[in-house]
Chain A
Amino acid sequence: MTSLIITQILNGLTIGLIFALVAIGLTIVMGLMEVVNFAHGSFYMFGGYITFFVFSAVGSFWLGLVVAPVACAILGLGLYYAIIRPLRKRHPLEPLVALVGVAMICRQLIRNIWGAEPKLLPIPFGRVQVSLAGAEFTYPIYFFVVMGVGVAALLALYLLFRKSDVGIRCLAAIQDRDTAMSMGVNVDRIGSLMLVIVMGVAGLAGGLVGPIFSVYPTMGLELIGLLFVIAIVGGLGSIGGAVIAGVTIAMTKSISSIFVSGNISDILAYCVLLAILLIRPRGIMGLATVME
């Protein structure tokens, strides 16, 4: 039993870090552009499929993990100039509807090329013997790799937003767009850069989960509701909040799934997040405490 619980905690941590990585992108785009990017999950899906495509074409999963974020970053720039920038200042429903359309097109496009059935990427590396808290069990090395990559990516985002001029200006624009512009900050240009970065990160996350969940056309749409919850519960523009919310939801799901069925554990996870939102209406980290 102990080994099962520890395994589920490790699973929750791995998946939670992935959720957090994708959700941070969503919260940055929402905060900076005031656009609800319904197509965010599509880039996560693209990342998964591009990794799968490279793997099936040249046989290297790792090359796929490099190509996927680069390709998604370029697609993100396209999304910014084609949809987000032209529609940003209109009524908020217009960009939302357009981005829902983009998400539908992406799903259908992928389904037409690769079909509806999931494609499982082989899991790299084998399993390692773990002895922890008196329990002995084997655990896939790849999950530790995902945790490592996830933590490294989160750290890179943290440094970007806390130590670089462009990151600090981005945070300033999220908090007060007009004032940031009045200080000479070209918020449009920062927006395009942020789309490149967060879509690259979403693509990386999609590639990373390929060997864990497999890739399938609705993987982005399935995730988007969860991402919104994580982004809002975590607090807009907050890396720390997204990590706490992402890990909390994934951990609740994985641990409760020991005792109840998967559907019930989903319900439990959402209940936990709703409870947090009721106690802290501005998110775990309200805007005033972004990234502390």
Chain B
Amino acid sequence: MSDYLLQLEDVHTYIGMAHILRGLSLALRPGEAVALLGRNGEGKTPTIKTIMSLLPPRRGTVLFQGENIAGAPTHQVASKGICVVPKGRHIFPALTVMEHLRVPVVNKKYRREDMLKQVFAIFPELAERKNQPARSLSGGQQQMLVIARALMTKPRLLLLDEPMEGLAPVAVKRVIESMKAVKEEGITVFFASASCERALAVAGRVYIIEKGRIVYEGSSPELMAAPEVQQKYLGVRE
């Protein structure tokens, strides 16, 4: 068994006829927080969806705890211990906060009451709004809710797709805090972001994606010390 919790090897994913991920490989060790950086349209969301099996790869392997989960049904991927905070939050508008937390299927080893207690400890603002419809929450609160929703499955790996996008600065701060809290729980965190500065506040290591391939890999301090890399792959194109 490898040292990696998740390992993507030579993954090729298509959306219809379009070849989106072109031989993408990356690996996550248990307990680390890793960012997937890249400009919009380079393949960050397809990477997350490929891991979740919402976009099954046409070629390549997705090893989770040594088992190939490429092409497995999405709900089975979730039950193996991967959960996701999708891009744009994707709340269920008609459900209340409490109902949101009842949607995830809780692993039989855990009791839902205990999970709720843990989640409300990280997100006290949700405990106060249990019976409020999710659509009446602010953007930041909705982001807290979808992170809490994902944590209800007690994942070993939490995927977040642009978790700080479109939020007010104070909400961004809260998201960063909660991602750190999740990492403190021992959960591996892998998130996509277009903003280098915000990502480095959480991630210990980064990958940069361009045209469906990983083009850079390094620790956060390394990337911070390499403005030319940031400019080349993440800066505004001339």
Contacts and interface: CB of A to CB of B under 8 A. Distances in A.
Given A287-B93, A288-B94, A182 B103 contact: no
B149 interface: yes
Contacts of B54: 178, 181-182
B103 A172 contact: yes
Contacts of B103: 168-169, 172, 180, 183, 185
**Which of B54, B92, B102, B105 has the largest count of A CB atoms less than 10 A from its CB?**
B92
A288 B95 contact: no
Contact of B92 (A179, A181, A182, A187): A179
B117 interface: no
Interface string A143-185: 0000000000000000000000100110110011011111111
Interface string B138-179: 000000000001101100000000000000000000000000
A291 B94 contact: yes
A254 B153 CA distance: 51
B75 A185 contact: yes
Interface in A182-196: 182-187
Interface residues of A, number: 24
A247 to B, nearest CB: 22
B94 A179 contact: no
A54 to B, nearest CB: 39
Interface string B88-100: 0010111100011
B95 A179 contact: no
Nearest to A183: B104
A242 to B, nearest CB: 15
Contact of A175 (B52, B73, B94, B105): B94
A117 B104 CA distance: 51
A181 B105 CA distance: 10
A138 interface: no
Contact of B74 (A168, A182, A289): A182
B79 interface: yes
B33 to A, nearest CB: 20
A115 B214 CA distance: 69
B94 A171 contact: yes
Contacts, number: 77
B104 A184 contact: yes
B187 interface: no
A98 interface: no
Nearest to B133: A292
B79 A184 contact: yes
A10 interface: no
A290 interface: yes
Contacts of B78: 181-184
Interface in A179-217: 179-187
A178 B78 CA distance: 12
Contacts of A186: 73, 75, 105
B104 A165 contact: no
A40 to B, nearest CB: 23
Contacts of A182: 52, 54, 74, 78, 83-84, 86
B135 A187 contact: no
Contacts of B86: 178-179, 182
Interface string A260-292: 000000000000000000000000000111111
A292 B74 contact: no
A244 B86 CA distance: 35
Nearest to B81: A184
B135 A181 contact: no
Interface of B: 52, 54, 73-75, 78-79, 83-84, 86, 90, 92-95, 99-100, 102-105, 135, 149-150, 152-153
- For the complex of A and B, the 10 pairs showing the least CB-CB separation, nearest first, are A184-B105, A184-B78, A290-B94, A181-B74, A183-B104, A179-B90, A172-B103, A175-B92, A288-B93, A186-B75
8 contacts: A172-B92, A178-B54, A183-B150, A185-B75, A185-B103, A186-B75, A237-B94, A287-B94
